[in-house]
A = this chain, B = another copy of it.
Amino acid sequence: MKAICKTQPDVGLAVCEVPEPTIGEQEILIRVVRSSICGTDLHIYQWDAWAQSRLKPPVIVGHEFCGYVAAVGSEVSHVQVGDFVAAESHIVCGHCTPCRLGQAHVCLNTRILGVDVDGGFAPYVAIPAANACKTDPSLPPEVATVQEPLGNAVHAVTAADVRGATVLVTGCGAIGLFSIGVAKALGAARVFATEVRPYRAELARRMGADAVLNPTTDDVLGYIHRATDGLGVDVALEMSGHPASIDFITRAIRPGGEVSLLGLFAQQVSVDLNALIFKGVAIHAIIGRQLFHTWQVMQNLLGSGALDVRPAITHVLPWCEYERAFELMASGQSGKVVLTWED
């Protein structure tokens, strides 16, 4: 079969002819119908320092995907051939201390599909049956494939109490956009978002943001001050990885508020810890998805129609146009970019 691979320790990806994967007793084979591109995939493409330290080419990339179960291992009972599934990308060990404590999202032995083992930018992929998340086949496949990154947004939002809250989202990449919808679905009274790119600001509005502000041109703090009677926002969701966000959130959060940090930063950030202490703020550093609590909440929200993330999915391309897809991702003129695999 043909798959999108990192073949060399260098910039770029390539289409390779590789054998169809075989499956172990506790694994399943998925016939992929949609994949989607994550910022991490862009790092792998660009072969940055993180990618150089982590990947061991050759590897089939791609950790966001959905498809139909084509085969199941002999010990697999709860997933059947023909089931529609999406993949949880973190393969966890189940026996380290975080796993035993119910914190498998920080498993000490995590292996990631498309990073540490072959992933889903391919017509077929083998994954542990435990990583298969059964999905209602009536869910549009381009939504099904983005459940993995949507789960990050659900994790970040559910870590805080957004019931009736005024929520600030800094950064409207795909996960920021998703967060806006999730916060609204869970009862946030108002969501303010910041974004520099007009294209993404418009997506934020379509995802339900009550106001979208440009931190380079708007007086965002002044706006929040006025909109909250000087109090500040109840919850802030950092989705940009921009170092200025931390100081901004420190000023914008109300005393007693909560912050979820999800965006990764290019370097260490100078933080006014005293200001956070005087405000008695709680901070949740977010990685991955709670296995599998996040998936349950997410799938129920999607299934009920309370959450609709389609406005954030801006491009669907055939897989063979992956170079253009990565360009779109890099351009910032996109939300989520999806690849199609079915014939």
- Chain A residues in contact with chain B, CB under 8 A? 25, 78, 93-98, 100-103, 105-108, 130, 158, 163-166, 184-190, 231, 246, 254-256, 261-262, 264-265, 268-274, 276-288, 290, 292-293, 295-301, 303-304, 306
Contacts and interface: CB of A to CB of B under 8 A. Distances in A.
B273 A270 contact: no
Give the top 3 A-B pairs by smallest Cβ distance, nearest first: A164-B300, A106-B255, A189-B304
> Oligomeric state, in number of copies?
4
B280 A282 contact: no
28 contacts: A25-B25, A78-B96, A98-B256, A100-B293, A101-B293, A102-B290, A102-B293, A103-B255, A103-B256, A105-B280, A106-B256, A108-B231, A108-B255, A164-B296, A164-B301, A164-B306, A186-B187, A188-B304, A189-B300, A189-B306, A265-B274, A269-B270, A273-B285, A278-B287, A280-B285, A280-B287, A281-B285, A283-B285
Nearest to A100: B292
Contacts of A281: 285
A78 B285 CA distance: 28
Contacts of A105: 256, 280
Contacts of A296: 97, 100-101, 164
Given A264-B277, A293-B102, A300-B164, A95 B78 contact: yes
Contacts of A78: 93, 95-96
Given A187-B185, A292-B101, A301-B189, A277 B286 contact: yes
A116 B93 CA distance: 27
Given A285-B281, A285-B283, A271 B274 contact: no
A154 to B, nearest CB: 9
A268 B265 contact: no
A185 B188 CA distance: 9
Given A279-B287, A283-B285, 4 more contacts: A100-B296, A187-B301, A246-B273, A279-B285
Nearest to A256: B103
Nearest to A243: B273
Contacts of A293: 100-102
A254 B187 CA distance: 24
Contacts of A306: 164, 184, 187, 189
A108 to B, nearest CB: 7
Contacts of A101: 256, 292-293, 296
